[in-house]
Structure 1
Amino acid sequence: DGQGVKTLICAPLRLKGEVVGVVNIAANDPGRAFREEDINTLTPIAQQIEKALELANEVRGTQIFTPATQLISLGEMVQDLKMVYSEEELGTIFLNSIREMFPQADSAMLLMKAEQEDCLRMVAGFGQVPNEMRLPVGFQLGNSCLLKDSHRAMLISDRANYFANGNCVFTHYQAKSMLVSPLVMEERVIGMMVVGSSFPNSFREHDLQLLQIISGQIALLYRTGASYWDLKIYAEELVDSVSVGVICVDLTGKITMVNNQAEKILGTTKDKLLGKAYRDFHRYVELEKLEQAKQGLLITGEPQNIQLVLQTQDRVRKVVSLGMNLLRNSKKTTLGITLVFEDITERLVLEEQLRRTERLVVAGHLAAGAAHEIKNPLTTIKGFCQIIKGSLPEGDARVSYLNTMLSEADQINTIINEMDRMAESDMGSVDWLDLPMLLDEVLQEERKEGNLTQVAVKTVYDRGIPPVLGNQFKLKQVFFHIIKNSLQSMLEGGIMIIKVSIDHAEDVSISFSDTGAGIPEGEQELIFNPFYTSKPERVGLGLAMSYKIIREHGGTMKIDSKLGEGTTVSLRLPVNFRFADLVNYSGFQPGSK
């Protein structure tokens, strides 16, 4: 009829064997197309309306002359077969239906089966009803078991006569006449509807039949909801079990689902995201990148994969790999967008450590070859310089030139020795070392050299720092290079804080913080590269060598710096580092020197 109906299901209405009407449920949205199981749901709705039509035909002319018409409003609740109702919503539907269809009723209760308990509890009511009521599922009304066996609805015209022997489960419900109907789903009692009046003989048999029709509709709504919630819980548990973060966004831009891993990665909770606008996500990620990926997805329909940096509520920066795809139903209709993301921060750190180690290995091999090729002719040059110097008369001006040549040759020799150490793969002698004591020795040497006069040094050592297995000379060399770099960044004075702490009984953490000039952000990625230096007078092997030594000890080394604010160098050394680990890191063999 031009109204844009895309899909339709129908069921006939029969009265005394003749078709007297039809129930149509239509949908304009192709994404809500009906399936065969929807017809199975529509059929009992039509049967309930047929019963109402029969009832209307029998009682025409009485005060309830069109129960079928009134049931249409209840039928609208199930018109959309995708709707889901909670117990509270069912209670509201029940109360509205009773008020409309039973004007003589001045009280009503809806009781539903309690989870984990074999009893019914009241979930909704109006009028003079108890604040709380719980009944065993198999309670007796008179001489018959209402719910457990017969599932029989009952009309109690006069409470005084019916419960003359005092056997009344409704002790706190004082209605004089009542209608009682069970809610049955798959042969199981799931609840009970009670309608009452303060006057006896307020209800008739057709009222009971009408209540049974309503109870059938309520049970149908409950069955749909129960199936949905069971499926929803299963789906949520399934998504929560995966090791990646998952977030779903609907077409209006609202976040509709957040799994446990997404909570963990973002450092927040579901209730702070669910129902919020999609753009609220900008507090955690680079929104511009996210929007570009979204536009690409909507235009092409192809999945988008990006890498971006996010910041948790605790201001922890993480790198995530994010995939974005359209969320579609079985009819290929777009329902929203899914974001699947993984924290790859640790993986990137390990990859960068591997690349640095590989660069150090290459540099080491290069250094070994270069050192050998340079050292031999350098020795010859130094020897001839000394011979020539010894042959010149005292006071000859050429002696100063030769002294300069010998000094430069010594500098070259120093560089060659550093290159030799870079190529060295032998761990050397190892022992259990007291790191605070080792640091104090390095600081004492620096004080003797007069290098700490312009800088205030503060040490903070936790109690009970366990010893670590390592090479004393090499670790002191690392500490020396780090302290030397800090001092050179604070030529006008400053503060250096050295901390040693135990981390989860697995690692010893050592940090060196200064208030120096800081390192430009673009240089921080290069600072561990061999021969990289910002100072022309330096070779650029100190930090590269330090990094190599810490890796040989099974540890990690990283630098955090802000230009103009200072730098923190953080080391972590394992407490339980084994000789077998030393073999893996450096080729060290037990029994070597």
Structure 2
Amino acid sequence: MAIDNLINHPLFLLSFHHSPAGMALAAASGRLLAANKALCQILGYSESEFVGQMIDDLCHPDSLENKRKFWDELNLLSSESTSRQMEFDWRHREGYAVPLRITASKYVSEETGTEAWFILYLTQPGGDSRNHDERQGNDTALGTSPIIPVQEQKCPQLYELIAVHSHDIISYCDPEGIILYTSPAIHRLLGYHEEELIGRNSAELIHPEDFQQIQSKHMDGYTDDCIHICRVLHKKGNYIWMENSVKLIKDENGQISNIMTVGRDITTRKQAEEELLKSEEKYRRLIEEMPEALLIQQDGKWVCVNEMAVRLLGAANRGELLNKPVHDFIDPDVLQAASSLTETLSNDDFVTTFKGKFITVQGEPVEVEFSAVPTWYEGHYAVRIIAKDISEARKAQELLQNSEKLSLVGQLAAGIAHELRNPLTAVKGFIQLLKSGAADKQQYYDIISSEINRIEQILGEMLILAKPRAVQYLPVDIHRLLEHVTTLVESQAIMNSIEIVKECEQSLPFIDGDENQLKQVFINVMKNAVEAMPHGGIITVRANKLEEDRIVVRVIDQGSGIPADQLERIGHPFFTTKEHGTGLGMMVSFQIIERHGGHVSISSEVGKGTTVEIVLPVFANNSL
């Protein structure tokens, strides 16, 4: 058989190219005639780059002398019943050394009786070569190995050389499936000796369920090459998962004469696949049972969404979202923020919370709060987003805030009524004086006008507080804001013998905020200070520039103070230190300041008083 015909023979192609170990066919000169895929992967070359190369050119320079000695010994082998083994470094396509253990067996042409080729079996040191070592009964040291006998021929000689050194089971059957030959790997993988299986039908070793599937598959039509995954009976009685590459050998009439099979143990792989399926099922259930929407975006498109995400975005099913551009579901107002979010995530940074609007399939905006984290999805970079609809929560928060405002108005009403009564009494008295014809009418007019202005100011502040308007972040003058708040609280303070002292730094920059909401905060804080001082005293309100971009307002009272164990609970819903309080006022105040980009801190000492410190950012353009 000519070498080209031999290389292209179906038996050679099946047993040679399906081997998981590196294999090559070389001429006696050291020129490579063929290389399998495994060797190509180990050394980084393509098959076409291997063919025609001299082994010297592929051998690492440091190992070249050992390789030449090894090759000379191979050429001196007098028969095909011997093989030799050695370990030396090969040169990877990228230039670095790859240590490989090489086992070489000789094949002599039946036609000429002199032309020889070598089957090279290459494995990386530490790899599984038990099928070779166990047959020999000893460990082979580095260097040339003892002579290794080859079995009697039961199939063509060259294929036997390949089969002896293969990690896979190579079997040769007649058309009825009767085993004519099986390679030594059968003992390592399935526990049988070759002679135990010769003459048996291979179907006896296949799990009945899998055999039925194989039969039904072949009923649809035979193909010369196919792959079956099935369970094969081990000698101990358990089943091993095998992947079998089957090649039908046909005679000159096109009839099946033999069946060649290369079987590989994939039990570990199947177990891993089953564990992966279980894990995926758990993960899928976890995703579906989440109370929040989960979306995974990859390359600007949604690639995974759960049922809550379908509901959030108003879709009828997942198909309306999957593979759709993410930007179709982001409100234009937050596209710029979304771009900076993407840049942050591309640097593997986490975004804990982000608020904005998504757009439903129907085009309606929905307010969401979501977290985003970089992840991998099906082997590629992606971003996992967990979002929740905060539209209802926002409405509830606004209702709570408005309720708290009305509560403040009601509580202030008594003090303000007293405050209004004083100027009204003065106005009434001076009107009576005017009626009596008293002199110095101009002075009376000025006093009446002043008292009326005071009444208007008080009523105006109450109307602003009681009638909420849309939130608008504008430059706010902190001096003016604190003056207005003091006007509202001062009447209640006077009734409790309390003096409010303002110590504000001159020329403070404007702050960036909603004036109505900030008034609510400071009224709450100052009213709490008044209620903490039933026996009178002084409340000090200080405003100072903290840094270039922040100011701090401190409200300091001389009340009874707050115990340390209660201090950390201030701001929690329904926690209060007052007999008839709700605990909602400070909670709302904390939220307002947080939305303004500021923060609130409270310090207190029992018996001496409490200090509430509010830090707020200044308006970006303070040239106003």
TM-score normalised by structure 1 residue count: 0.36
Larger Rg: 2
Q: Which has the higher contact order (CA 8 A, sep 6+)?
A: 1
TM-score normalised by structure 2 residue count: 0.35
